[in-house]
């Protein structure tokens, strides 16, 4: 998943049914005692995410010797090696489901970056033309549109995090974890329309349902990238326009912590490769639901770029 061959010392229920083919990039995940890990404050603080009340959500600290300490009060502690090939973790004091979700959302994508892939904050599906990435701010509907496209026959590739690999002239999108976070409003819309989520609901929290999808087995060549742009003042139907601002592509990266020359060079090369493909903004009002956007995307893909 995320272009990595994950080898764990424990069963991870949220990663069950992962069927991705080997990539040759191994990531070993091993549990250790809390005393065996670097402690908060031991490295240089490079990321500090806070809750609305000011308490720590999660932090990332870096040290050239032992790597990256990625931790949160409810998520446990993870030390990722500098080469992204091993994770040592302590789950003391945190719920197992929260630890696994943090592993999926933060630790695995970080490891993919360290192993030479680029990671976008995007959901993705696979259609006949290839992989289609959906990018946009939180709440724009990336996951909902991706799941609607899957309901209409697309294959699920990734939710929220898309790992990309440059292979010659191709940009390969690697399968993520076989999970999608469906917000409750979209779940209610599906229910009113007489539809069920595309997969089994395996967990629920105050914000979303976690749905197990039929994940992809192999990477797919990226064919198009769409930015979901929700506007109060928008046409009555979704409209498409070519993206010419490279800053939108750069801003789509999932990780702004790694800023070394090699990583930045790789990011620029990926963005340049993306720009040679269909990259468009979808302008839609807040009243346009996921089903309408999915239909509009399907019709757009039938047109020549």
188 in Cβ contact with 220 (< 8 Å): no
CB-count burial class (<10 Å; 0-12, 13-18, 19+) for 65? exposed
Domain total in the chain:
2
The reported pLDDT for the residue numbered 197 is 62
Q: Which segments of the chain have a pLDDT < 50?
A: none
Segment 244-291, tens digit of pLDDT? 888 888 888 887 888 888 888 888 888 888 888 899 999 988 888 888
Q: Which of 67, 95, 115 is the last residue of a domain?
A: 115
Nearest to 109 by CA among 159, 155, 154: 159
Is residue 186 domain-shared with residue 285, that is, in the same domain? yes
E-state strands within the chain: 5-8, 26-31, 44-50, 56-63, 67-72, 76-80, 86-90, 118-120, 122-127, 130-135, 155-158, 162-167, 170-174, 179-183, 200-204, 208-212, 220-230, 239-242, 278-284
The reported pLDDT for the residue numbered 189 is 67
Structural domain span for residue 212:
119-302
Segment 10-30, tens digit of pLDDT? 877 777 767 788 899 999 999
Sequential DSSP letters for 167-210? ETTEEEEEP--SEEEEEHHHHHHHHHTT---SSEEEEE-SSEEE
Is residue 127 domain-shared with residue 271, that is, in the same domain? yes
The reported pLDDT for the residue numbered 149 is 93
Structural tokens at position 139: 């709440």
The strand pairing partners of 62, in sequence order, are: 44, 68
Is residue 164 domain-shared with residue 197, that is, in the same domain? yes
Is residue 144 within a helix (H) or strand (E), and if so which, with residue range? helix 142-151
Look up the CATH number of the domain holding residue 128. Answer: 3.40.50.300
Is residue 137 domain-shared with residue 286, that is, in the same domain? yes
The pTM of the full predicted model, rounded to 2 decimals, is 0.89
CA distance to 47, 80, 116, 267, per residue, from 165 (Å):
25, 21, 8, 11
């Amino acid at each position: 998943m995320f272009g990595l061959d994950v080898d764990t010392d424990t069963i991870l229920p949220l990663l069950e049914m992962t069927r991705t083919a080997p990539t040759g990039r191994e990531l070993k995940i091993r549990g250790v005692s809390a005393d065996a890990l670097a402690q908060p404050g031991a490295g240089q603080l490079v990321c500090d995410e806070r809750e609305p009340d000011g308490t720590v959500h999660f932090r990332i600290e870096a040290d050239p010797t032992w790597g990256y300490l990625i931790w949160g009060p409810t998520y446990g502690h993870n030390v990722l090696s500098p080469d992204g090939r091993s994770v040592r973790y302590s789950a003391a004091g945190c719920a197992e489901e929260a630890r696994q979700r943090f592993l999926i959302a933060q630790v695995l994508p970080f490891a993919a970056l360290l192993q030479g892939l680029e990671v976008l904050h995007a959901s993705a599906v696979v259609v006949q033309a290839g992989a289609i990435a959906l990018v946009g701010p939180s709440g724009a509907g990336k996951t909902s549109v991706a799941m609607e496209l899957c309901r209409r026959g697309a294959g699920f590739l990734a939710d929220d995090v898309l790992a990309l690999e440059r292979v010659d002239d191709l940009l390969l999108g690697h399968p993520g974890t076989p999970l999608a976070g469906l917000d409750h409003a979209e779940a209610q819309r599906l229910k009113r329309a007489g539809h069920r989520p595309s997969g089994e609901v395996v967990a629920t929290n105050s914000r979303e349902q976690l749905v197990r999808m039929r994940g992809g087995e192999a990477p797919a060549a990226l064919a198009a990238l769409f930015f979901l742009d929700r506007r109060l003042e928008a046409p009555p139907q979704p409209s498409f326009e070519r993206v010419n601002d490279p800053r939108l592509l750069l801003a789509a990266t999932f990780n702004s912590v790694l800023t070394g020359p090699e990583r930045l060079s790789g990011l620029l090369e990926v963005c340049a490769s993306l720009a040679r493909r269909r990259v468009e903004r979808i302008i839609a009002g807040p009243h346009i639901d996921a089903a309408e956007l999915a239909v509009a995307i399907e019709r757009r893909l039938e047109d020549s770029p």
